[in-house]
Structure 1
Amino acid sequence: MAPARTSRGKAPKSSNHESGRNLKRKRGEDEISSLIQRVEDLDLKSSLKNFADLPLSEPTARGLSASHYKTMTDIQSRAISHALKGRDILGAAKTGSGKTLAFLVPVLENLYRRQWTELDGLGALILSPTRELAIQIFEVLRKVGRYHGFSAGLVIGGKSLREEQERLGRMNILVCTPGRILQHLDQTAMFETNNLQLLVMDEADRILDMGFQKSVDAIVDHLPKQRQTMLFSATQTKKVSDLARLSLQEPEYVAVHEAATSATPSTLQQHYVVTPLPQKLDTLWSFIRSNLKSKTVIFLSSGKQVRFVYESFRHLQPGIPLMHLHGRQKQGGRLDITTKFSQAQHAVLFATDVAARGLDFPAVDWVIQMDCPEDADTYIHRVGRTARYERVGRAVLFLDPSEEKGMLQRLEHKKVPIERINIKSNKQQSIKNQLQNMCFKDPELKYLGQKAFISYVKSIYVQKDKEVFNLKELPLEDFAGSLGLPGAPRIKFIKGDDTKERKNASWKMSHLSSDDDDSDAENKKDKKKDEQQVRTRYDRMFERRNQDVLADHYHKLINDDGTIAAPDAGNGAGEDADEDADFLSVKRRFVAGDEGLNQGDSDSDASVPEKETKKVQIDGQEPLVIDSKRREKLLKSKKKLLKFKGKGTKLVYDDEGNAHEIYEMEDEDQFKARGDADAQREKFLAGETERTRQADLEDKEVARDKKREKKEKRKARDRALADAEADEERGAQGIQLPYVEPIDLGTPPPSEPESESEKETRRPSKKARVSFAEPEESEEESAYKRDKSKKSKKSKKSKQTEPQIETLGDLEALASGLLG
């Protein structure tokens, strides 16, 4: 017999698999229990230098090693130790010191020790103030946690809400912005946060300020009270109210640089330049042209300023790639710009404060703050884009003379060392004329410049620190000219407290009235002062800001400094005459209505005849002198002449046809002679009340008569319709009606005579019903009328039907009757 073969069935195989799974599960439990024990035994006072010294899980250690993170910074070594033990953290450290890993490593470790799975729901929520910072945190999380089995998601604005809703319920870790996550908490049904273990806020001082206050309070209301909370920022908040809002329980304040002499990295060189506001663009352009082989971030106050400076500099072509970043851009464009700038070797990025916090642009050489930051904390975050991770960096702050004193005091209070530097005048370049030329040729660029000007002024106006930001001390007209604008745009809130008075001030038209006959010397002086305020079209032309963009012939009229061009000495003309045949040459320049036009220049203008003047009398007012074409046109405008006419009066005519004013004041003595004012008022009110009552009774009587009249008309119309229908039915059945003599309805039945009082009180209706009585007719006339009505097609059917024609004799009788 053949030996029996050993069975290789499924039972032994399954038992081996179960034993393997059990061993793997037991090994994992032993590893987690040993990891928990190592965390409990961790000494918080010991200073650790490497990540390998921390009690970390194997997936986290592999992720850190693969991402080339080996040595810890000060904030990482102190914050991670406390966070691993489950304590609430308030972490404060300088920019570029590695705060991102200080909270990502505890998030991964705490969820790993709890054996968190997809079925457990959301375990950690990380809030970021800007989308760019949220993307950066998410990328670091993907690198460090690549060997973990957690599911992580990025929830920011600018993407489809429905796609996020479908995947949100399966996420263990979420990196998000406050506004977007609040939208999901309110609208997404399957999104639950009951099992949340950790809440992290990066740049916590920015998230907890007034901009996100309502959103953060609403988010915290959705989260459980029992959780671990970690706040990280370069300028940490210590307000008790903020900590109470987040339900922090005995937080550990980790401030590694609190005792440092500077709040910024020691490798950062910080300087400031005192530059008047109209010269800031020239200084910025000169700096960019002098540093073409560097990587620069330039901060401005508003997105409209960023757009204008970027567009104008792009037209000027400085010779280096230019980029711009602000909050009004679409999310895809913002992500592309941050990626391109990170990868670029030499570039310039114009940005608002959306790029001021947390963004890690590698190898940034310069940080230029063209506009003064709102406070010292914003300054610290801005300059933190350079000199990161022990690298060298430089920062320059542009300050207006009115901002210098206050801003330096606030920086000194925050332990920010900064030195003043001066600009070399030989390297300063002016782009004012070029900007004027571009704004004149390109209306869109001019529109951007106007919006940039308004947004800058508003950003200064809304600042709380009025010691630094004083709008009245800024030369706004010159600043508008430096942007290439012909003048400063009007802004309502600049006028100040006297806005109402200026709005209600009367229009000064004194220059249109002449006082030639006035011989008083003081009046003549006042009149000359008023006449000097009149601006002709030549004055407006010479006061334009963008003269260089008009045409070459304009240089024949004015000098480069804006003064009137001197006459050519070789042309043989007088002092005030310009006989050159150039286009648009101006021979004389004078103020309209000036009396002394020909007094001081009799030699030069002897050939010019004196204009004839005439006076026009208007409604008894002072005579209006007509000595120019402009005033001749004034006589043709009724609207403008109203200002020189007196106030009109409205007249009414009484029953006798006499005209008098609509309102006439009664003689006071006659009024008092009639009695006390209160008694007269009561008498007048009583009379008016009685008159109103009588008028009401009359109106009611008239309304009653109209209603009765309408009712009678309706009944008569219904009876007529009923009779017509009955006649039609009888005619259809062939029934002949007997002839009935017509009844005279014209004369009404006799009634009792009315009294005179009844005739006066009764009012006639609007349309009186008039009826006429007809004389009696003979039988032949009535028969003739009946025959005539039968022939007419448009008349109504007669009450008598036509006789039936049945035999030939009937037809002959009818024909003989018709023929007479």
Structure 2
Amino acid sequence: MVAPGITGRTRPTKVKKQAAAQKRKRNDVDVEKLEQAVAELDPKNASYKDFTDLPLSEPTKQGLKSSHFAVMTDIQAKAIPLALKGYDILGAAKTGSGKTLSFIIPVLENLYRLQHVGVDAGLGALIISPTRELAIQIFDVLYKLGKHGHMFAAGLVIGGKSLEAEKQALTRMNILVGTPGRVLQHLSQTVGFNVDDLKMLVLDEADRILDMGFQRDVDAIIEYLPKERQTLLFSATQSRKLSDLARLSLQDPEYISVHAEDKTATPKSLQQNYIICPLQEKLDTLWSFIQASKKSKILCFFSTAKEVRFVYESFRHMQPGIPLLHLHGRQKQGSRLDTTAKFSAAKYSCLFATDVAARGLDFPAVDFVIQVDCPEDADTYIHRVGRTARYNRDGRGVLFLAPSEEEGMLKRLEAKNVPIELINVRQKKRQPIKDHLTHMCFKDRALKYLAQKAFITHVKSIYLQKDKETFKLKEYDLEEYSASLGLPGAPRIKFLEKDKVKEKKQASRATIELLGSSGESEDEENGLTEKKAKAVRTKYDRMFERQNRDILADHYKKLIRGRDTDGEPNSGNEGKNTKAVADGNEDDFLAVRRRIPAEADLSDAASDNDDTSITRAQKVVHLQGAAQPLIVDSNRREKLLKSKKKLLKLKDKGRKLVYDDEGNPHEVYELEDENDFKAKGLPEEQRQKYFDVERERVQEADVEDKAAAKAKRKEKMWKRKQRERMEIEEAEDPGVELDDNGEDALANFRADAEFSDESKSDGGKEAQKKKPNKWSQSDSENDHKSKKRKKGKRNVAQHTVEEPRTLEDLEELAAGLLG
């Protein structure tokens, strides 16, 4: 056995590791003294001002000292003692009053006294916030306060981060900060995530977490948690609904509202104003305000993420002279963290944000909070404007209200004790930017798309508001608002069209008849006019005018163009539903109301000048190489200009030219002038003359061809007779001597000479023919020699004999042959 005190390590254990191991055991914690001091607290009768007045542990005191927290705020002085004693709390206080420390200090202290530390202890406290940014901010405060001696394992679980990494670390956590969606996901999916021993549940911004947006997630989370626990709820606007308290299983909760007796629900150092600004002038006013406040820190709130993106991109191109940032829920988590960090550290900056940044976020030294879009209720206004004037600092909030929103919103703010004053904008300093936005949308298609989406989402946000007394969609000038965004016209909004169809379906027949008899228009929103009904209308008139609105209405409007009472077509009102024949006029019978040209007949349609075929503004395009211009009057024609293959059909085809001796171009098949043709005589005479000329030309060519054929035959016959004569001479010549091979040398010489002459006369065109057998050769001998040549075994040398010129040469040749 190993001796006591001796380990198997070759190296000595470091002193720091030994100290850390002892520190983790927590044997030196005097829990009994802390428990006794907490039991002696009397939060209902006594008053506490400093953190030193409370029975806190040494690590917590070190954390407060390092963060320079000494004096407690009102909500901290009342909430922390009650929370230390284990009461359930409903805390409500103004924005920027220090609610975060009111629940972080009790969480650390209660778990510290219970020694809820280590992996085996499990989860002891759960803190839930509505937004990721607020959860990160709470975790940062928890880390700064607890890193000076507390041994708890704390974790942050929010959307946008790695789920697997969170699952692996979640089973070791003692304190957890997260958003409702991600916490519920881990409770339902992560194996080993145990919440049976949970001691504390904290809901920050509880009014937002308990509303309809998070109600389902929070109810599901509560089902997992034990009922025997301490619950803390904090918010700037707290709810006392019995239904909410019953859902959370609160036991005799203490309601703390330190500012309930105050005359205002917002800080006194906050100056609040509002201006009357129509919807189409909001961007002009915002741009002018940013230009006048370049050396400030500004936070601007919009209702939708698409609006934030459009305003950020358009203002960024216009270069206002101040750093611009944007924050909304559609961004990735990394960019959201970068944006909040940049805006917190910036001295002068402007941040465009949605309500994601409206709750709990602590941006230091914000000078202005501009609410460009009206908040949905007074609570949202209080949370938005609470991003400034924090911790007794000065701040200013400005609210933009449309004329139709003023009365309803002021009532809501008055009921919440929010003081706000009306101010006016100096028209001289207001800079209109409508033309700039129009120019940018015309040049940049992506920016135009953003403007369209911003318009649609803003209208939809107004449409979905619950407070119909404040948000009256029909009183907004949507056409002017779309023009202020740089758009040429208001985009189509489908949900509004569906509502109009529903209204028409639900309207009674008597109401429809009353509208028809008064001459009112069926399409008032499009500005169309309809022909007034007859003075006397029978049941047969009503029967024939009735139609199935679900099936025939849209199709009928597309086929028939609207006409006024004088019979002239209304330009641009093609969708108007009118009678096919007005007043029995016979001119309207089979009249063309709408013409759709076929794609294959583009050239004919381009040359057609009929006014009835034009359903939109015409555009004349002159194509290079085309005799006639192309008339563009539809979307199909505009697409045609992008296709080179289809444009070739409209262009003239190429012509082949020939040039005469003088260099003048002529077509290959050039038509003769009519006057010149008539000057030559009658057509029958010209035809007969043409036949005669052609007949003479053919006869002359025939004579030439016959003479050439006759000469060819004579040459062929002469060659044949020459060969026959030579064969006869060779057969009649006696006393012919043979050479060593048994061949006649003179005969071979003459044959070679004749062959060379024939080859020269033919010009090398005729192939060498096979030599005939000599009189001294047999067929078998000749065959035997030919086989030897084919096999290549023996080559017979040809004797070259010079032509004898004199008798002496001939005798010398004969003597040589005789040996």
TM range (shorter): 0.5 to 0.7
In structure 1, the gaps of 5 or more residues are 1-7, 12-17, 514-525, 538-614, 635-639, 641-820
Q: 1:24 to 1:417 in 2, by over 3 A?
A: closer
Alignment correspondent of 1:40: 39
Give a deviation string over 1:289-316, Cα, whole Å, max 9, x none: 0000000100000000000000000000
Structure 2 SS opposite 1:68: coil
Alignment correspondent of 2:83: 83
In the alignment, the residues of structure 2 paired with residue 25 and residue 452 of structure 1 have an alpha-carbon distance, to the nearest angstrom, of 58
Contact preservation (8 Å) 2:559, 2:593: no
Structure 1 SS opposite 2:271: strand
Alignment correspondent of 1:312: 314
Structure 2 SS opposite 1:125: strand
Q: 1:532 to 1:62 in 2, by over 3 A?
A: same
Contact preservation (8 Å) 1:617, 1:624: no
Give a deviation string over 1:480-508, Cα, whole Å, max 9, x none: 00000000001122247542656626438
Shift of 1:43: 1.7
Alignment correspondent of 1:631: 612
Give a deviation string over 1:459-500, Cα, whole Å, max 9, x none: 000001000001000000000000000000011222475426
One-letter amino acid of the structure 2 residue matched with residue 527 of structure 1: T
In the alignment, the residues of structure 1 paired with residue 93 and residue 73 of structure 2 have an alpha-carbon distance, to the nearest angstrom, of 10
Alignment correspondent of 2:52: 52
Give a deviation string over 1:741-778, Cα, whole Å, max 9, x none: xxxxxxxxxxxxxxxxxxxxxxxxxxxxxxxxxxxxxx
Shift of 1:247: 0.4
Q: 1:536 to 1:114 in 2, by over 3 A?
A: closer
Q: 1:122 to 1:534 in 2, by over 3 A?
A: same
1:325-344 alignment runs, 5 A limit: 325-344=327-346
Q: 1:631 to 1:396 in 2, by over 3 A?
A: same
One-letter amino acid of the structure 1 residue matched with residue 180 of structure 2: P
Give a deviation string over 1:434-466, Cα, whole Å, max 9, x none: 000000000000000000000000000000100
Alignment correspondent of 2:570: 533
Q: 1:508 to 1:331 in 2, by over 3 A?
A: closer
Alignment correspondent of 2:421: 419
Shift of 1:533: 3.3
1:96-135 alignment runs, 5 A limit: 96-118=96-118, 119-135=120-136
Q: 1:279 to 1:191 in 2, by over 3 A?
A: same
In the alignment, the residues of structure 2 paired with residue 84 and residue 622 of structure 1 have an alpha-carbon distance, to the nearest angstrom, of 89
Structure 2 SS opposite 1:190: coil
Contact preservation (8 Å) 2:561, 2:569: no
Contact preservation (8 Å) 1:326, 1:354: yes
Alignment correspondent of 2:234: 232
Give a deviation string over 1:696-748, Cα, whole Å, max 9, x none: xxxxxxxxxxxxxxxxxxxxxxxxxxxxxxxxxxxxxxxxxxxxxxxxxxxxx
Alignment correspondent of 1:726: none
Question: Which of 317-326 and 501-510 deviates more?
Answer: 501-510
In the alignment, the residues of structure 2 paired with residue 28 and residue 140 of structure 1 have an alpha-carbon distance, to the nearest angstrom, of 26
Query: What TM-score comes out, normalization by structure 1 length?
Result: 0.62
In the alignment, the residues of structure 2 paired with residue 211 and residue 121 of structure 1 have an alpha-carbon distance, to the nearest angstrom, of 30
Structure 2 SS opposite 1:534: coil
In the alignment, the residues of structure 1 paired with residue 99 and residue 568 of structure 2 have an alpha-carbon distance, to the nearest angstrom, of 69
In the alignment, the residues of structure 1 paired with residue 315 and residue 614 of structure 2 have an alpha-carbon distance, to the nearest angstrom, of 47
Structure 2 SS opposite 1:28: coil
Alignment correspondent of 2:646: none
Shift of 1:622: 7.2
Alignment correspondent of 1:609: none
Give a deviation string over 1:514-559, Cα, whole Å, max 9, x none: xxxxxxxxxxxx534x63732499xxxxxxxxxxxxxxxxxxxxxx
Contact preservation (8 Å) 1:268, 1:394: yes
1:167-246 alignment runs, 5 A limit: 167-246=169-248
Alignment correspondent of 1:813: none
Structure 2 SS opposite 1:72: coil
In the alignment, the residues of structure 2 paired with residue 623 and residue 93 of structure 1 have an alpha-carbon distance, to the nearest angstrom, of 73
In the alignment, the residues of structure 1 paired with residue 212 and residue 328 of structure 2 have an alpha-carbon distance, to the nearest angstrom, of 20
In the alignment, the residues of structure 2 paired with residue 470 and residue 311 of structure 1 have an alpha-carbon distance, to the nearest angstrom, of 29
In the alignment, the residues of structure 2 paired with residue 172 and residue 160 of structure 1 have an alpha-carbon distance, to the nearest angstrom, of 20
Contact preservation (8 Å) 2:593, 2:612: no
One-letter amino acid of the structure 2 residue matched with residue 77 of structure 1: A
In the alignment, the residues of structure 1 paired with residue 613 and residue 468 of structure 2 have an alpha-carbon distance, to the nearest angstrom, of 52
Shift of 1:117: 1.3
One-letter amino acid of the structure 1 residue matched with residue 250 of structure 2: L
In the alignment, the residues of structure 2 paired with residue 624 and residue 195 of structure 1 have an alpha-carbon distance, to the nearest angstrom, of 79
Give a deviation string over 1:672-703, Cα, whole Å, max 9, x none: xxxxxxxxxxxxxxxxxxxxxxxxxxxxxxxx
Query: What TM-score comes out, normalization by structure 2 length?
Result: 0.62
Aligned residues: 528
Shift of 1:274: 0.3
Give a deviation string over 1:423-443, Cα, whole Å, max 9, x none: 001110000000000000000
In the alignment, the residues of structure 1 paired with residue 497 and residue 88 of structure 2 have an alpha-carbon distance, to the nearest angstrom, of 50
Give a deviation string over 1:361-395, Cα, whole Å, max 9, x none: 00000000000000000000000000000000000
In the alignment, the residues of structure 2 paired with residue 292 and residue 447 of structure 1 have an alpha-carbon distance, to the nearest angstrom, of 29
1:284-683 alignment runs, 5 A limit: 284-495=286-497, 497-499=499-501, 501=504, 504=553, 506-507=556-557, 527-528=565-566, 531=568, 533-535=570-572, 629-631=610-612
Contact preservation (8 Å) 2:592, 2:612: no
One-letter amino acid of the structure 2 residue matched with residue 288 of structure 1: I
Give a deviation string over 1:212-233, Cα, whole Å, max 9, x none: 0110011000100100000000
Q: 1:125 to 1:624 in 2, by over 3 A?
A: closer
Query: Do residues 157 (structure 1) and 194 (structure 2) align?
Result: no
In the alignment, the residues of structure 2 paired with residue 459 and residue 352 of structure 1 have an alpha-carbon distance, to the nearest angstrom, of 12
In the alignment, the residues of structure 2 paired with residue 271 and residue 305 of structure 1 have an alpha-carbon distance, to the nearest angstrom, of 23
Structure 2 SS opposite 1:368: strand
Shift of 1:151: 0.7
In the alignment, the residues of structure 2 paired with residue 363 and residue 477 of structure 1 have an alpha-carbon distance, to the nearest angstrom, of 39
In the alignment, the residues of structure 1 paired with residue 144 and residue 184 of structure 2 have an alpha-carbon distance, to the nearest angstrom, of 27
Structure 1 SS opposite 2:255: strand
One-letter amino acid of the structure 1 residue matched with residue 568 of structure 2: E
One-letter amino acid of the structure 1 residue matched with residue 322 of structure 2: I
One-letter amino acid of the structure 1 residue matched with residue 122 of structure 2: G
Shift of 1:621: 5.2
Alignment correspondent of 1:139: 140
One-letter amino acid of the structure 1 residue matched with residue 124 of structure 2: G
One-letter amino acid of the structure 2 residue matched with residue 630 of structure 1: D
Contact preservation (8 Å) 2:561, 2:594: no
Structure 2 SS opposite 1:199: strand
Q: 1:245 to 1:508 in 2, by over 3 A?
A: closer
Contact preservation (8 Å) 1:324, 1:337: yes
Alignment correspondent of 2:271: 269
Give a deviation string over 1:298-340, Cα, whole Å, max 9, x none: 0000000000000000000000000000000000000000000
Structure 2 SS opposite 1:76: helix
Shift of 1:510: 7.2
In the alignment, the residues of structure 1 paired with residue 169 and residue 587 of structure 2 have an alpha-carbon distance, to the nearest angstrom, of 86
One-letter amino acid of the structure 2 residue matched with residue 162 of structure 1: E
Contact preservation (8 Å) 1:134, 1:175: yes
Structure 2 SS opposite 1:401: coil
Give a deviation string over 1:233-272, Cα, whole Å, max 9, x none: 0001111011101100000001000110000000000000
Q: 1:27 to 1:331 in 2, by over 3 A?
A: closer
